[in-house]
Each structure stands twice: as C-alpha cells, then as structure tokens.
Amino acid sequence: MPGSSFSVSSAALLDAEEGIEVVGEAADGLRGVELVRAEVPDIALIDVQMPVMTGIEATRRIAADPALAAVRVVILTNYGLDQYVFDALRAGAGGFLLKDTEPADLLQAIEVVARGEALLSPSVTRTLIGEFVSRPPDRTGAPGLEHLTRREREVTALAARGLSNEEIAAHMVISPLTAKTHISRAMTKLGARDRAQLVVFAYETGLVSARTTG
C-alpha cells in the first residue's frame, strides 16, 4: 500500500510491511495529535483509552483540523463495541479494530481505510445498529438530507447497509464509477469525512431503518 501510517501500537508489524512506513509513535493522546499534525500521515491508529487525552478527543481534534482532512483515523479498542464507539464515529473516526486483530486483517484494514471506506467489523456493526434501534431517528438534528438528490439518498442508504461501490452499482444497475461519484457528492453535501460518517448520518436521520438492515 502506498503512503505512510502513524501508529500508537503495532508499530513493529506495520513497519516490517513493504509499502508502509510508521512515521511516529506516541504514549498519550495529546502527543499523538501533535505528531499527526507534524507528519500528516495517511492513517492514524488511535487507542480509544490513552493518558492525558482520550482517543475520542484526539480523533475530534484531528477531524476538526482542515490541514488534516486527508488523515484517516482508526480507533483501536479492547472490545467489539464499548461506550465510546458511537462518539468516535461522530468525531470522525473512519473505523474500529480490536487490539487482538490478526496481523493480516490489520494490514487489510489499513488498506480499506486508506481508500476512504468505512471499517466496521460485523460484531461492531451489529451492536452499533442495536444502539440506533434503541433511539428514534433525529430527522431534524442532522441537516443536509434535503440537499441530497434521490440517487444520492439511495446510494447513502445502500452504503449504510455495508455495500461496496461495486455492490451498489450492481444493485442500482449503474457503473461503479457512477456509484462512487454519487457517494462522493453525498459526502461533500453532508460534510462527511468518509463513509463511516455517511453511515452514521443515514441511521441518525432515519434514511435507513436499523430494524431492516438484517
């Protein structure tokens, strides 16, 4: 995979992989944010629980910095889903990984996030959907839905169900490039950093019903 990665863990594994360069490590969240600002890596692996500054706050600061718009944040956690997951997604995290993830899966996950796709394991997705089921959709709290075209709403809903661009294209009988274009336009209109935030938006607004996603 071209580019570089910033990591607060798994540095040795990543640095040994051809095409990946670990450009910094940090022992706490505040130092992690400082390193990301200094190095502007492709990906930042952030532990959800760190001293000085939590991974959630570190993610929020990285996502809020216009100079770091291209940085993708992946949260590392000990649990399939904990109390921080939803907040981290809203803060701008591109996905989640368990700390005991197999090395091959970790490397594949980095490639997924580097492409701007959402990274949510099946266990995380199921529990996240359960969280949405327990609350009514906030149709007024997430502005922007009215700006989406019918096609853009449709691709957003399909993306929220976990479909890739290729699968969306097949479902809508369009080309993968057209599907990607619709996704990109929807993200731009909604101010979403990546597909993960697009997924959150779809559930928050009721565009997708959590009870019907399977």
Please write the tens of the pLDDT for every residue from 166-191: 889 999 999 999 998 999 899 888 88
Residues in a beta bridge with 75: 46, 96
What pLDDT score does 118 carry?
62
Indicate the DSSP class of residue 162. Answer: T
What pLDDT score does 125 carry?
54
Please write the tens of the pLDDT for every residue from 53-102: 988 899 999 988 989 988 888 888 776 555 666 777 777 887 777 777 77
- Residue holding tokens 């400082």? 34
Mean pLDDT over 34-59 rounds to 90
Asked whether the whole model's pTM tops 0.75, one would answer no
Cα–Cα dist 189/205, whole Å: 15
- Residue holding tokens 């580019």? 3
Mean pLDDT over 182-209 rounds to 80
